[in-house]
C-alpha cells in the first residue's frame, strides 16, 4: 500500500550493518583478513552462521483499511518487509535473529510522518486507540531500544521522512534540524559552510539525531566536542498530550532543566521531531598519533586522566588495555619505520606491549593544535610512552566506523562478537576493569577474548568499553542465548560494582532490569509520574524506560 | 528556647550584606567614595534611607512545646530575631523591608538539623502536619526564593549545622560535602590540598552549596570552571517521601538525568543534604588583564564570542557595555602608566571609551597560561583593543565580591540599586541588550543609570547582567514599590524577547509569574507531577517553583 519501497530506499539489506562504502560518507573498509585470522588463532575455527533470511512474520493486526482510516494522509506500510525491518535494532542478538528460524515480534504497521503535526496526530490517535508506538530513527539501538513490544497493536514510527535542516543561525552556531536526519547528512550541510557537529559515535553512518538524543549518545570525539547533552540546546517533542518544548537557551537558571528528561527518554516520553544543536568550527587541522605506554592499564588510565584535566586535552583520546593493544597490533601490525620502532620497543621491553594510546588533535588554529600536541607529548613522554608514529592513529581514524562491518563478517564466520560499556570514577577504574573482564571471561568460557578501552574521559572518571570475542553456536538462537546469559552475569557484576548501567548505549529493553536496580524508589516514581504526564495511556515505547511497567499500553 | 544565638553566631547584623572583612575569606573593601560620587553626579543627591531596624514580627503560631513535640531532638528557635533573620533573602526589596515599618511574614520556627536523617524527620512531620518548609542555606537569594510563604504554619530549615566535608576522593577529584557548607569553607578545605571548586558567584562569601544547586548558580569563573551543573556529580536529597539519590556517575546514558530536576529545584522538591562535586587543581598561576575595545557593545560581544569558542578561552571573561565602562573607569580611574595609556587612548579616539574587557587566565601550567594569554592577545589585538595593563584586572579580582557591600552603602545613601540578568543566543544579544536597557530606563525615569556586562559566555550565547542605579524614595516601602513596578516592566520585555527568565539568579517567588509564561503547558504539568511525586502534600517551599500553585500546602 501507499507505494512500496525497494531495497534501494533502505540502502542496505536487512540483518546486517551493511556493505562497506554504501554511504557517501562511509569510511568503512572491507574487513581486514587479519581480523579473522586473529579470531581463528585465539578462538579456533567457528564454522559459519546462516545468512540473514526473510523473516517469518505474523500477519498485521491492523488491516490496510484500518491503517488508512486511523492515519489518514500519513504514509504507511503494512507489508512484511517494512514491518520486519522496523522491528528491532542492531545488537548482536538482534542481528542473530535475522539468521534464525524463530519467529520475531514485528509492528503491525510502519508510519512515515512528514511533519511535527503528523507525528502529533499519530500519537493522539494511538493514545485514544491504545496502540503502542515505537519511534525509529536510524534503527541502530544496541540495547533493544526499538524491539517491538508485546502489545495488542504496535506501530513503528519511522523518522525517515523528517531529515531536513530547518534553520541555521550561523552567528550563534545553532542549527535546527528535523530529528530523523543522520550524522552524515547533517555534516554534509555543515561542512561546506565551515562547521561541524563533531558527534561521531560508531553508529554515525546510520543513526539519527533523534536517536542520539533518546539514547543520550556520546561520540568518539567527546573529549573535544562533548556528549549529545552538551550539543542539544533545545528540543521540540511530540507527545500524546501535545507539543513539549524544552530548552532553547544557551544556559539558564530557570528551574529544572527539562532537556535532561528528553535526553535519555528512550522514545518513552514522546518523539523528538526537531532539535536545536550547537555546532563548532570545522577543524581545518586534524592530527592523529599513536603511542605505546608501558605498564598495566592503570598506567594508561593515569595518563589519560592527566590529559583530560587540561584545557589542552586532545579532541580524541583512546587507550586500549593490553589485551586490546595486542589484538589491534596483531590485526593491523605496523609496517615500515613504525613497525621497526614498535618491534624495537617490544624487544627492548621483553614484555607485553602495554597500552596503545591514540590521540587526535583538531582545530582551526595551528597554534592551538601545537599547544595541544606539545602538552600531550610532554604528558606521555614523562610516563615513558613510545611514539609509534602517525600511521596507526591515521589508520584508526580511517577505520573509526568499521566496527559494525567487522561484526557482520565475524558473525558470518560463526563468532560471538559483542560490546558492553560503563563508566566509573577514576578511583574505581582499575577494580571495575578487572572485575568486568573476569566476569565476561567466566561467563563466556576460557577461550573467550575480552578486551577493553577508555574512549570517553572526564575530569572525574572514564568510560570502559569492552569487546568480547568467542566461538558462537551453530544455531543462531543458541548463540543469542549464550550471550544473553553472559550479559546478565556481566550486568549483575556491573550493578554490584556501582558502575553506571551505560555510558552511551542507553537503557532500552535489554538494560531495564539493571536500570531498575541502579536507581532508587523515589527516582522510579519520578520517572513514572513524568511518563504519566506526557503519555497518560502508556503507549510510548512501552518497556523501554520505566522500571516495573509492562510491555504494552 | 534551646539556647539563643548571639549576633556573633550569625556573623553579621540583619538587613545588610555585612561589614567588609567580617569573613576570613572576604576580599570586600570599604566602599570607594568615588562610587557614591558617581551616583551623586548622575542621579543627584538622594538623601538617605532609614537604617535596618528590629522588625515587627507576629507571634509564632507554633508554641515552644509544640515545636519540641513535633521536632524532638532537633535544635529549634522560635524567638523573633531568628524568625526574622530566616524570613527572607537579599534582594533589594528584601533589604529595604528591614528598613521599613511594614510588617513582614516570618516563619513560626527555625530548625537546625544536624544530619540527613534529621532533615528527613522534619519533612516527614511537616508533610503529615501540613506545615510549609522553607530551606535556607546562606540566605542570599535575590529572587524571593526563601521569602516566607503565606501558610497556616511555616518552618525555616537552616542548613547552618550541616557544613562538613564528608569525603574526598582525590584520585577522582570528587569531594562530598554537606550542603550547608559555604564556598569559603569548602575552599579552605580544598586549597591547602591543591584543589579548588572554582565556583565564585558574587554571593560566594555567604551562599551555601545547597543554595547554588537549588538556584542553578554560575560563578564569575564560569568560562574556566563551568556552572554548578557542570560541577555537581551527585546529590543526596531529603524529600517528604524519603531519600532521593540522583547522579553519582561522571556521565551516563542510563535514562533521563534526574540531577537536572534537583538543580534549579528552588527548595520545592526537597532539601539537598549532601553533594558530590567535581574539583580542579588549584591554579598556581593567575593573571588578570584589562583592555578597552573601541566601538559599541556588539564589537565587545563579538570579541568575547571569539574568545569563548576556543579551548584556550580565558578562565574569566567580562565585557562591560559603554555605560558600565564609563561608570567603572570613573569609579576607579586608573592611575600611573595605565592611567596615562587610558587617557592617551581616549584622547586619540575622541569618543566614548568603548568596552572594558577583563580577562583572567588561571592554570597550574606556565605553558597553558602562556597559550591562553597569546590567544587572547591576538584575538583582542586584531580587533583594535588597547591594553590598559594588569592593574584594573587585578583590582577587579580583589573587588570581585564587593558588589553587595557597595549596595548596602548605596541603599544607606538613599539610592535604588539592583541587578537583573538573562541569557540569549549571540544573534539576539545586541537587540536584547538595547531592549532591556531601554525598558529599565523607561521604567525608572530618565535619570536612572542602566549598565550591563557579559560575564558568562558560551559557544552559542552569553548572559547579560544589568545593574540599575536610580534615586530612591524617602520611604523604603515606596522604593520597593518603585522597583517592583520597574522589574515587572523589565520582565515583560524579557519574556517578550524570548530571553531566559534568569541565567543564574533563579526563579524564586519574584520570577514565578514570568517563569510560568516562559514554559509550555506540558512542561508545567511535568513539573507539577514531579512535585507531586516527591512532595505529595505540597509543603516544600510553596510558591517558589511550580507555576499556578498557591503559596501554602
Q: Which residue of A lies nearest to B228 if distances are taken between CA atoms?
A: A253
Nearest CB among B239, B278, B520 relative to A245 is that of B520
> Which residues of chain B does A545 touch, with a Cβ-Cβ cutoff of 8 Å?
255
CB contact under 8 A, A216 and B245: no
Please report where in the chains the cell 551623586 appears, as a residue. B40
Residue with cell 621483553: A350
Give the per-residue pLDDT at B344.
Answer: 59
pLDDT-based confidence at A28, cuts 50/70/90?
Answer: very low
Supply the mean pLDDT for chain B. Answer: 91
Question: Does the pLDDT at position B466 exceed 90?
Answer: yes
Assess contact for A111 and A75: CB atoms under 8 A.
yes
For A295-304, write each residue's pLDDT tens digit.
Answer: 999 999 999 9
Alpha-carbon distance of B202 to B220, in angstroms, equals: 7
Q: Do B216 and A257 touch (CB under 8 A)?
A: yes
Whether residue A461 and residue B249 make contact (CB cut-off 8 A), yes or no, is yes
Q: If DSSP codes are grouped into helix, strand and coil, which group holds residue B346?
A: helix
The contacts found for A440-448 with CB under 8 angstroms, 24 or more apart, are: A440/A466, A440/A468, A440/A486, A440/A490, A442/A489, A443/A485, A443/A486, A443/A489, A443/A490, A444/A416, A444/A468, A444/A470, A444/A482, A444/A486, A445/A470, A447/A42, A447/A43, A447/A44, A447/A471, A448/A43
A 10 A CB-CB count for A366 gives: 10
pLDDT band, very low/low/confident/very high, at A265 (cuts 50, 70, 90): very high
Query: Alpha-carbon dihedral of residues A391, A396, A402, A406, nearest 10 degrees?
Result: 80
Q: What pLDDT does residue A332 have?
A: 63
Output the pLDDT for position B358: 95
CB pair distance less than 8 Å for B523 and A245:
yes
Instruction: Assign B342 a pLDDT band (cuts: 50, 70, 90).
Output: low
Of A84-93, A405-414, A466-475, B403-412, where does the model show the most confidence?
A84-93
Residue B339: per-residue pLDDT = 54
Mean pLDDT value across chain A: 91
Interface contact A173-B313, CB threshold 8 A: no
Q: Mind telling me how many Å the CA of B386 is from chain A's nearest CA?
A: 23
**Shortest Cα–Cα distance, A473 to chain B (Å):** 31
- Over 70: is that where the pLDDT of B31 sits? no
Of A408, A404, A402, A436, nearest to A420 by C-alpha is A436
Residues in chain B within 8 Å Cβ distance of A229: 257
Set of cell numbers at residue B163:
557544613
CA distance B216 to chain A (A): 5
Task: Tell me whether residues B534 and A511 touch, CB distance under 8 A.
Answer: no
Is the pLDDT at A5 greater than 50, yes or no? no
Q: What angle (nearest 5°) sits at the alpha carbon of residue B362, between those of residues B358 and B365?
A: 145
User: Closest Cα of chain B to A528: distance in Å?
Assistant: 9
Pick among B246, B251, B373 to test the A interface (most A CBs inside 10 A): B251
**CB pairs below 8 Å between A and B: how many?**
300
pLDDT confidence band for B37 (50 / 70 / 90) = confident
Beta bridge partners of B178: B274
Tell me what pLDDT residue B343 has.
Answer: 57
Gap between the Cα atoms of A207 and A455, Å rounded:
19
* Residue labelled with grid coordinates 565556583: B199
Take residue A389 and report the three cell numbers written for it: 608514529
Which residues of chain A have a CB within 8 Å of the CB of B285?
Answer: none
Q: Do A507 and B461 touch (CB under 8 A)?
A: no
Give the Cα separation of B271 and B134 in Å (integer). 9
Cα–Cα distance measured from residue B473 to residue A329, given in angstroms and rounded to the nearest whole number: 78
To 5 degrees, how large is the angle CA B137–CA B143–CA B146?
40
Element (H, E) at B79: none
Distance from CA of B124 to the nearest CA of A (A): 15
| Segment B376-395 mean pLDDT | 89
- Please state whether beta strands A109-112 and A154-158 pair in parallel, antiparallel, or not at all (unpaired): parallel
Give the model confidence (pLDDT) of B119-138 as tens digits.
Answer: 999 999 999 999 999 999 99
Q: Do A255 and B527 touch (CB under 8 A)?
A: yes
Assigned C-alpha cell, A95: 542481528
Report the residue of B235, B253, B511 to disrupt the A interface, i.e. the one with the largest count of A CBs within 10 Å: B253
Residues of B in contact with A501 (CB under 8 A): 252, 254
Cβ of B244 within 8 Å of Cβ of A522? The answer is yes
CB spacing of B251 vs A227 below 8 angstroms: yes
Percent of chain A with pLDDT over 90: 79
Give the distance between the most distant pair of CA atoms in chain A: 75
Residues in chain A within 8 Å Cβ distance of B526? 244, 258, 261, 530, 533-534
Cβ contact (<8 Å) for A264 and B257? yes
Q: Residue B21: how many CB atoms within 10 A of its CB?
A: 13
Spell out the residues 6+ positions from residue B9 whose beta carbon is closer than 8 angstroms to its own: none
**Cβ contact A119:A161 at 8 Å:** no
Q: Helix (H, G, I), strand (E, B), or coil: what is residue A203? A: coil
pLDDT at A36: 81
Identify the band that residue B55 occupies on the pLDDT scale cut at 50, 70 and 90: confident
User: Of A171, A252, A268, A523, which to mutate for an interface test with B (greatest number of B Cβ within 10 Å)?
Assistant: A252
Nearest CA in chain B to A213: B253
Contact call for A368 and B229, based on CB within 8 A? no
Q: Which residue of B has its CA nearest to A302?
A: B171
Q: How far is it, in rounded angstroms, from Cα B109 to Cα A460? A: 40
Q: Is the pTM of this model over 0.90?
A: yes
Chain B nearest-CA distance from A40, in A, is 34
Which tens digits make up the pLDDT trace of A456-500? 999 999 999 999 999 988 899 999 999 999 999 999 999 999 999
| Residue A389 · residue A334 · CB < 8 Å | yes
| pLDDT higher than 50, residue A24 | no
Taking CA–CA distances from A252, the nearest residue in chain B reads: B503
Q: What is the CA radius of gyration of chain A?
A: 23
Q: Count CB atoms within 10 A of the CB of residue B82.
A: 24
Residues of A in contact with B266 (CB under 8 A): 255
The answer, yes or no, to whether residue B335 has pLDDT greater than 70, is no
Taking 80 as the threshold, does the pLDDT of residue B27 lie above it? no
B45, three cell numbers: 543627591
Indicate whether A60 pLDDT > 90.
Answer: yes
- Tell me what the mean pLDDT of segment B434-453 comes to: 94
Q: Is A120 within 8 Å of A243 (Cβ atoms)?
A: yes
pLDDT for residue B160 is more than 80: yes
- The answer to whether B270 and B238 are in contact (CB under 8 A) is yes
**Could you report the predicted ipTM of this complex, rounded to two decimals?**
0.95
Least confident of A107-111, A137-141, A401-405: A401-405
Q: Work out the minimum CA distance from B499 to partner chain A, whole angstroms.
A: 8
CA dihedral B163, B169, B174, B178 (to 10 degrees): -20
What does DSSP say about strands A242-247 and A232-239: parallel, antiparallel, or unpaired? antiparallel
Average pLDDT over residues B392-410: 85
A260 — pLDDT class (breaks 50, 70, 90): very high
The arithmetic mean of pLDDT across residues A373-378, rounded, is 96
C-alpha to C-alpha distance for A182 and A173, rounded to whole angstroms: 19
Q: Which of B310, B501, B527 sits opposite A256 (nearest CB)?
A: B527
Which of A48-52, A390-394, B169-173, B347-351 comes out lowest in average pLDDT? B347-351
Residues of B in contact with A365 (CB under 8 A): 310, 375
Q: Count the Cβ atoms, other than its own, within 10 Å of residue A10.
A: 15
- For residue B39, give the 3-state DSSP assignment: helix
B256 and A374 within 8 Å at the Cβ level: the answer is no
Where do the DSSP E strands lie in A202-328?
A: 232-239, 242-247, 271-278, 280-281, 285-293, 316-320
Mean pLDDT throughout A112-138?
A: 98
- In this prediction, residues A398-427 reach a mean pLDDT of 92
pLDDT at B539 over 70: yes
**CB contact (8 A) between residue B427 and residue A169:** yes
Q: What single DSSP character describes residue A433?
A: H
Instruction: Name the nearest CA neighbour of B214 among B103, B77, B89.
Output: B89
Please give the sequence-ordered ranges of beta strands (E in DSSP) within A294-334, or none if there are none.
Answer: 316-320
Measured CA to CA, the distance from residue A304 to residue A281 in angstroms comes to: 25
For the stretch B411-425, what's the b/e string if a residue is b when 16 or more beta carbons lie within 10 angstroms of its beta carbon?
bbbbbbbbbbbbbbb
Instruction: Find how far residue A478's CA is from the centre of its chain.
Output: 25
Choice among A34-38, A483-487, B421-425 with the minimum mean pLDDT: A34-38
Amino acid at each position: 500500500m501507499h507505494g512500496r519501497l525497494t531495497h534501494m530506499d533502505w540502502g542496505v539489506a536487512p540483518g546486517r550493518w551493511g556493505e562497506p562504502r554504501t554511504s557517501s560518507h562511509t569510511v568503512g573498509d572491507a574487513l581486514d583478513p587479519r581480523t579473522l585470522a586473529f579470531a581463528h588463532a585465539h578462538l579456533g575455527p567457528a564454522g559459519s552462521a546462516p545468512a540473514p533470511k526473510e523473516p517469518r512474520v505474523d500477519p498485521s493486526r491492523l488491516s490496510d483499511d484500518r491503517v488508512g482510516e486511523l492515519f489518514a494522509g500519513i504514509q504507511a506500510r503494512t507489508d512484511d518487509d517494512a514491518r520486519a525491518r522496523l522491528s528491532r535494532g542492531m545488537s548482536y542478538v538482534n542481528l542473530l535473529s535475522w539468521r534464525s528460524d524463530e519467529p520475531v515480534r514485528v509492528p503491525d504497521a510502519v508510519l512515515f510522518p512528514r511533519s511535527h503535526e503528523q507525528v502529533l496526530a499519530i500519537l493522539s490517535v494511538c493514545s485514544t486507540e491504545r496502540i503502542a508506538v515505537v519511534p525509529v530513527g536510524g534503527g541502530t539501538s544496541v540495547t533493544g531500544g526499538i524491539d517491538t513490544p508485546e502489545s495488542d497493536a504496535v506501530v513503528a514510527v519511522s523518522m525517515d521522512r523528517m531529515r531536513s535542516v530547518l534553520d541555521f543561525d550561523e552567528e550563534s552556531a545553532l542549527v535546527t534540524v528535523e530529528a530523523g536526519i543522520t550524522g552524515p547528512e547533517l555534516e554534509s550541510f555543515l561542512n561546506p559552510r565551515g562547521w561541524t557537529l563533531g558527534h561521531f559515535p560508531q553508529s554515525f553512518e546510520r543513526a539519527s539525531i533523534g536517536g542520539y538524543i533518546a539514547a543520550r549518545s556520546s561520540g568518539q570525539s567527546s573529549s573535544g566536542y562533548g556528549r549529545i547533552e552538551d550539543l542539544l540546546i533545545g528540543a521540540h517533542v511530540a507527545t500524546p498530550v501535545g507539543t513539549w518544548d524544552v530548552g532553547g537557551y544557551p544556559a539558564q537558571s530557570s528551574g529544572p532543566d527539562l532537556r535532561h528528561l528528553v535526553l535519555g527518554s528512550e522514545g518513552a516520553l514522546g518523539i523528538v521531531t526537531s532539535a536545536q544543536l550547537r555546532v563548532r568550527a570545522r577543524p581545518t587541522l586534524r592530527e592523529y598519533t599513536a603511542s605505546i605506554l608501558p605498564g598495566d592499564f592503570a598506567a594508561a588510565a593515569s595518563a589519560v586522566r592527566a590529559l583530560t584535566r587540561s584545557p589542552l586535552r586532545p579532541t580524541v583520546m583512546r587507550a586500549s588495555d593490553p589485551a586490546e593493544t595486542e589484538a589491534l597490533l596483531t590485526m593491523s601490525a605496523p609496517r615500515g619505520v613504525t613497525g621497526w620502532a614498535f618491534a624495537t620497543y617490544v624487544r627492548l621491553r621483553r614484555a607485553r606491549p602495554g597500552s596503545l594510546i591514540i590521540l587526535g588533535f583538531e582545530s582551526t588554529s595551528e597554534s592551538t593544535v601545537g599547544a595541544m600536541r606539545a602538552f600531550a607529548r610532554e604528558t606521555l613522554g614523562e610516563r615513558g610512552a613510545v611514539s609509534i608514529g602517525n600511521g596507526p592513529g591515521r589508520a584508526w581514524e580511517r577505520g573509526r566506523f568499521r566496527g559494525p562491518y567487522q561484526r557482520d563478517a565475524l558473525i558470518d564466520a560463526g563468532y560471538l562478537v559483542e560490546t558492553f560499556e560503563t563508566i566509573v570514577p577514576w578511583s574505581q577504574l582499575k577494580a571495575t576493569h578487572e572485575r568486568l573482564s573476569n566476569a565476561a571471561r567466566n561467563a563466556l568460557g576460557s577461550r573467550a577474548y575480552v578486551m577493553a578501552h577508555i574512549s570517553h574521559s572526564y575530569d572525574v572518571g572514564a568510560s570502559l568499553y569492552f569487546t568480547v570475542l568467542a566461538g558462537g553456536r551453530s544455531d543462531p538462537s543458541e548463540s543469542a542465548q549464550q550471550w544473553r546469559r553472559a550479559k546478565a552475569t556481566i550486568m549483575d557484576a556491573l550493578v554490584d560494582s556501582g558502575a553506571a548501567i551505560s555510558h552511551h548505549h542507553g537503557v532500552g529493553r535489554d538494560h531495564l532490569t539493571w536500570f531498575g536496580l541502579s536507581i532508587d524508589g523515589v527516582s522510579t516514581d519520578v520517572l513514572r509520574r513524568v511518563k504519566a504526564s506526557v503519555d497518560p495511556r502508556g503507549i510510548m515505547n512501552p518497556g523501554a524506560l520505566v522500571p516495573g511497567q509492562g510491555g504494552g499500553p
